[in-house]
């Protein structure tokens, strides 16, 4: 498979997703905020909603690949990669003492290991599995390996820019395993043979904390320009490092860094800004119309990056990059009350399936009306349970390939 993401709106051809699983049922009232959830979803309905979302994409010709399936194939066919994944996961969780037991295929067959990688394992479950305690003083319900309930937000652990893959470094340790699993698939699964991870690969240990970046902050404007949110989860220093790597690889020549508020509701740039066609964007006015500054990173001519403050407004920058005057669709139709409501339910986190064909939760009614008035065909999906993790259709997808186009 050839990676190709030249913009955010050409016809989506291949996308990677993760169907919510047992990890969701690990959430409780006591731990949900530690795992970055605002509420406890109903898993069965959540899976139904995710299946319906995937069906909508497939009905429109998108090839949907599941992380769970690719990872299973990897664990079954590549023993060395299996061992490496276990070591990396256990090291990240400071649980190296259990790695040897998890490597024992007679005790932990592939399906069980796959389950553990997503739902984690408690001290009680570990003792039942191996017949001894990992820590005699630990409570049976305490996690040795924590669950990763955010894994269905597959946008964040990796991103494709042009023909290059980026392995992201998560801000919160609770999400670090998502990067490990996605990176393993991109690096080792035969589906992706021949591709190089330009940032964050397992052979680049320096690309790690504190240099965090998450896929929801990365938006590809065109073949030469990228918009990146300098947010709670993506550091400006990382943007400069990434820009240096990308500039050395090919056509990208401009990185625009936008500072967004470090608030839970605005965790990534794509929660306040998305693109549905060339020159047509959806944005949350409360943030996007109050930007204090914009940084432009360009090659400095000696292999580094030159950063300067932009004189142009964001509207002017977008119009210049699109080659036409930008059309702005405001969340909630621009009504401050409904914009606030629909921002909370990811009314701005929209996935373009093709030019002027965009997917969003059906509950974002005012934003949908505004999009339809602008000539956008809206694919509406149910998200009453999916939205409880604070993420929409764009958050739930890692596009690997879009059709090439002008």
Catalytic residues: 395
The CA distance from 10 to 388, in Å, is 29
User: DSSP character for 11?
Assistant: P
The CA distance from 349 to 151, in Å, is 17
Report helix, strand or coil for 23: helix
Buried b (16+ CB within 10 A) or exposed e, 145-184: bbbbbbbbbbbbbbbbbbbbbbbbbbbeebbbbbbbbbbb
- Residues 159, 215 contacting (CB under 8 angstroms): yes
- Residues 406, 8 contacting (CB under 8 angstroms): no
Read off the tokens for 177.
Answer: 């395993």
CB atoms near residue 270 (< 10 Å)? 28
- Residues 126, 136 contacting (CB under 8 angstroms): no
CB atoms near residue 216 (< 10 Å)? 24
Q: Report angle CA 308, 304, 243 to the nearest 5 degrees.
A: 75
């Amino acid at each position: 498979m050839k990676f190709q993401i030249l913009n955010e709106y050409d016809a989506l051809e291949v996308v990677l997703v993760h169907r919510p699983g047992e990890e969701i049922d690990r959430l409780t009232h006591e731990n949900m905020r530690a795992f970055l959830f605002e509420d406890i979803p109903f898993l069965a309905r959540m899976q139904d909603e995710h299946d319906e979302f995937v069906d909508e994409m497939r009905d429109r010709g998108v090839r949907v690949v599941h992380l769970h399936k690719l990872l299973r194939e990897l664990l079954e066919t590549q023993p060395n990669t299996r061992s490496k994944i276990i070591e990396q996961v256990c090291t990240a969780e400071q649980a190296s003492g259990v790695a040897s037991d998890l490597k024992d295929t007679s005790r932990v067959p592939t399906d069980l290991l796959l389950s553990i990688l997503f739902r984690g394992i408690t001290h009680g479950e570990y003792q039942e599995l191996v017949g001894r305690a990992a820590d005699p003083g630990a409570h049976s319900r305490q996690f040795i390996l924590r669950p990763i309930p955010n894994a269905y937000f597959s946008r964040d652990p990796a991103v494709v820019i042009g023909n290059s893959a980026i392995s992201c470094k998560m801000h919160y340790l609770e999400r670090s395993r998502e990067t490990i699993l996605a990176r393993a698939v991109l690096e080792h699964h035969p589906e992706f043979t021949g591709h190089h991870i330009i940032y964050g690969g397992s052979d680049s240990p320096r690309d790690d904390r504190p240099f965090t970046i998450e896929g929801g902050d990365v938006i590809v404007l065109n073949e030469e320009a990228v918009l990146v949110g300098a947010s709670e989860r993506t550091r400006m220093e990382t943007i400069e490092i990434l820009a240096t790597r990308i500039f050395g690889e090919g056509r990208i020549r401009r990185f625009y860094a936008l500072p967004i508020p470090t608030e839970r509701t605005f965790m990534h740039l794509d929660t306040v800004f998305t693109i549905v066609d060339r020159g047509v964007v959806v944005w949350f006015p409360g943030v996007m119309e109050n930007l204090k500054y914009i940084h432009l990173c360009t090659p400095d001519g000696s292999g580094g990056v030159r950063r300067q403050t932009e004189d142009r407004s964001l509207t002017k920058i977008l119009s210049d990059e699109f080659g036409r005057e930008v059309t702005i669709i405001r969340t909630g139709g621009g009504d401050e009350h409904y914009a606030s409501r629909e921002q909370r339910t990811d009314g701005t986190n929209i996935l373009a399936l093709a030019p002027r064909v965009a997917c969003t939760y059906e509950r974002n009614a005012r934003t949908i009306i505004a999009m339809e008035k602008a000539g956008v065909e809206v694919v509406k999906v149910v998200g009453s349970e999916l939205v409880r993790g604070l993420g929409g259709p764009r958050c739930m997808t890692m596009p690997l390939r879009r059709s090439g186009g002008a």
